[in-house]
A = this chain, B = another copy of it.
Amino acid sequence: MKKRVAIIGMGFGGIRAARALAGSGHDIVLADRNNYHLFQPLLYQVATAGLEQESIAHSVRAMARHWPGTRFHLGEVTGIDLDTREVRTDNGIIPYDYLVIGAGSCTNFFGLDSVEQHSFDLKELADGESLRNHILTAFERAVNEPDLSRRRALMTFVIVGGGPTGVEFAGALVELIQFVLAKDYPELSVHAARVVLVEATDRLLAAMPEKLRTYTLRKLRSMSVEVLLNARVVDAGPERVVLHDGAVIPAHTLFWSAGVKASPLSSGLGVTPKAGGRVPVQPDLTLPGHPEVFVIGDMAYLEQDGVALPMTAPVAMQMGSYAGKAILAREAGTNLSPFMYRDKGSMATIGRNAAVATAFGLNFRGYLAWLVWLLLHLYYLIGFRNRIVVMLNWVWYYWFHERQVRLITRREAGQRH
């Protein structure tokens, strides 16, 4: 019998679930508050003027054309009624027989209001453009700033969080400054610019083996990123960042990538949330007591071998495929074996010819890891045209040390809020 399946969120998990279910004869509704799938892992390159925002997003309706039986619902989910089996959005109601929730995560400021108010993060597409505009505007303001210490503060960028996003953003930003902006602003002493990476623990890329962590730290420092370990940001203003020990860094830009938490949707599902506000799920990714509701990706809390699965794109993708297949199996009268995450490795790029990666129990670093990083990101990017545009930008940058998208496209307020 034809069933109605609603999928909330067109992130890495949601689109894998949609693909698994497309053409199965069921009625699939794809819901998202945006009309595109965002390739978030490259958002930091939009923020550092390396990519145009359009090249890392792909229209959901363009994808849905190839997925028989699906239709798209643009709307922000305002509530889920588990009893009547209805999803409410600001654009209507979606009744369902099965529901797949993959609404992802948002930034966790851990209650630091002043930091939330004065910092940038990278979750939505427009965040990349806003941060790029802010960075470039800071340099333009520095040109006209006669006071030397204020000028240096305009050219100081504090990045919080030594995970992949923080490391990749720090590397891309310092290269933007040294390779590109140094030539754009002959009137500034660009070597006076500071990129400060603040990490609360004693290590960068905590999930990586020690050898790669050491390489990352050494590499970033040799690119003149100031890495502060065992340091925490506790307060911020429009022109300063305060550390746990009282140190004040004069800085006009604060980028926060020190934590995420599950989408607020997780709180309405009638279960006690786990770490990061995540929803504890059954081994088949269903909500306890609701075998018709699957929770996937960053919103799901599931332990494997005694450890919670990380909030990453590969986990979301595998969960999405599993949820889609599980629904098909259920309708065919069978059951899948419990979800099992297959860790294919992880990676982070630091700069030109420099990345770290683990795969198949092996460690890679330097040029080879960097090349693999490029190829895998191109592979997972959706849309053939997008791949060509992104590759073109990368080749351009590699050969000419040029990032073409250094445009201030909107005159935004000095800080985000």
- The interface of chain A, by Cβ under 8 A from chain B, is 34-36, 52-55, 57-59, 61-62, 65, 71, 74, 91-92, 125-126, 129, 136, 140, 143-144, 183-187, 383, 385-386, 388-389, 392-393, 396, 402, 404-410
Contact = CB atoms under 8 A, between A and B. Distances in A.
Contacts of A185: 61
A92 B141 CA distance: 11
25 contacts: A34-B408, A52-B52, A52-B54, A52-B55, A53-B409, A54-B405, A54-B409, A58-B404, A59-B184, A61-B406, A62-B402, A62-B404, A65-B184, A74-B140, A74-B143, A74-B408, A92-B144, A126-B409, A126-B410, A129-B409, A385-B392, A385-B402, A386-B404, A389-B389, A389-B392
A149 to B, nearest CB: 19
Nearest to A397: B385
Determine how many copies of this chain the complex contains: 2
A55 B404 CA distance: 9
Nearest to A54: B52
B125 A409 contact: yes
A349 to B, nearest CB: 21
Q: What are the 4 closest A-B residue pairs judged by CB atoms, nearest first?
A: A52-B54, A61-B184, A74-B140, A35-B408
A295 to B, nearest CB: 26
A402 B58 CA distance: 12
A396 B236 CA distance: 47
A140 B89 CA distance: 14
Contact of A35 (B55, B71, B136, B396): B136
Contact of A404 (B54, B71, B186, B392): B54
A129 B57 CA distance: 15
A407 B71 contact: no
A383 B393 CA distance: 13
Given A55-B52, A74-B140, A36 B125 contact: no
A403 to B, nearest CB: 9
Contacts of A54: 52-54, 404-405, 407, 409
A352 B404 CA distance: 29
Contacts of A52: 52-55
Given A59-B184, A140-B74, A385-B393, A36 B126 contact: no
Nearest to A388: B392
Interface centre among A125, A184, A396 (most CB of B within 10 A): A184
A406 B140 contact: no
A368 B207 CA distance: 59
A35 B383 contact: no
Nearest to A92: B144
Contacts of A140: 35, 74
